[in-house]
């Protein structure tokens, strides 16, 4: 990720200076500082994330025919937080995914709902599964429990999509709505299409709101986070 690269350059530069590689050391330090300043504080990261988020427009639920199902990739729910603090729910980035999925499930009351949100590779599978937390919340918000199917074992977006398609079974060729992060949507739909599934996009969790403002300044970590997320998606599309 860019932030890691800038950090490594910041370490490499002084090391090269100690080794009397003056030109190379100064170059690494300058590149590190420039990267942190430009992508941490300015709106440069918007140039990376905007093309991803603007590629697909959310379908209009009021104008669409009811789908056979809704598939949700990612959750915005932290079961680790809820499980360790005793809180009934823990939200994190992308929490609007829960509400968007619930809205669509209530809008289309006959639709199946597949929730795929694993542990991301950082925590044990049980009992802290994000998908279970999202299912619990959707039930609390009025969605019938027997409509919701869960894949909570996936450690990557690729796995989540593959497992979701497996859960679709005989309905694979019918109309499915896809709820996921706007920045992730291009990569996600690409994997679905490679598996002969053409979902209807419903992007959420936008990081950039038009129009582009070259004079806008971000908080340092916010700008780097946007840049890293966008870089990850572009690398996934490569």
| pLDDT tens digits along 9-59 | 999 999 999 888 899 999 999 999 999 998 988 888 888 888 998 888 888
Instruction: Identify the band that residue 140 occupies on the pLDDT scale cut at 50, 70 and 90.
Output: confident
Neighbours of 184 (CB within 10 A): 22
pLDDT in tens, 165-183: 999 988 888 999 999 989 8
Domain boundaries in the chain?
2-52+221-237, 57-204
Task: Report the CATH fold assignment for 57-204.
Answer: Rossmann fold (3.40.50)
Q: Does residue 211 have a cis peptide bond before it, meaning omega lies within 30 degrees of 0?
A: yes
Token reading at 174: 């019918």
Does the pLDDT at position 81 exceed 80?
A: no
- C-alpha dihedral (200, 129, 96, 155), degrees to nearest 10: -50
* Average pLDDT of the segment spanning 132-155: 86
């Amino acid at each position: 990720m860019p932030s890691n690269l800038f950090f490594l350059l910041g370490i490499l530069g002084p090391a090269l200076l100690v080794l009397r590689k003056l030109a190379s050391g100064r170059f690494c330090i300058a590149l590190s500082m420039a990267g942190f300043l430009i992508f941490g504080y300015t709106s440069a990261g918007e140039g990376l994330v905007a093309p991803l988020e603007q590629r697909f427009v959310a379908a209009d639920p009021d104008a669409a025919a009811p789908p056979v199902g809704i598939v949700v990739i990612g959750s915005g729910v932290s079961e680790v937080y809820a499980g360790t603090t005793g809180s009934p729910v823990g939200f994190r980035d992308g929490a609007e995914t829960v509400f968007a999925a619930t809205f669509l499930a209530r809008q289309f009351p006959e639709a199946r709902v597949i929730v795929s949100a694993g542990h991301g590779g950082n925590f044990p599978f049980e009992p802290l599964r994000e998908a279970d937390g999202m299912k619990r919340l959707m039930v609390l918000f009025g969605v019938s429990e027997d409509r919701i199917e869960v894949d909570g074992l996936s450690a990557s977006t690729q796995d989540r999509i593959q497992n979701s398609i497996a859960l679709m079974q005989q309905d694979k060729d019918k109309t499915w709505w896809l709820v996921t992060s706007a920045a992730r949507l291009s990569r996600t739909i690409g994997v679905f299409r490679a598996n002969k599934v053409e979902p209807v996009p419903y992007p959420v969790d936008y990081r950039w709101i038009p129009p582009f403002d070259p004079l806008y300044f971000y908080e340092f970590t916010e700008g780097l986070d946007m840049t890293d997320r966008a870089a990850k998606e572009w690398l996934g599309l490569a």
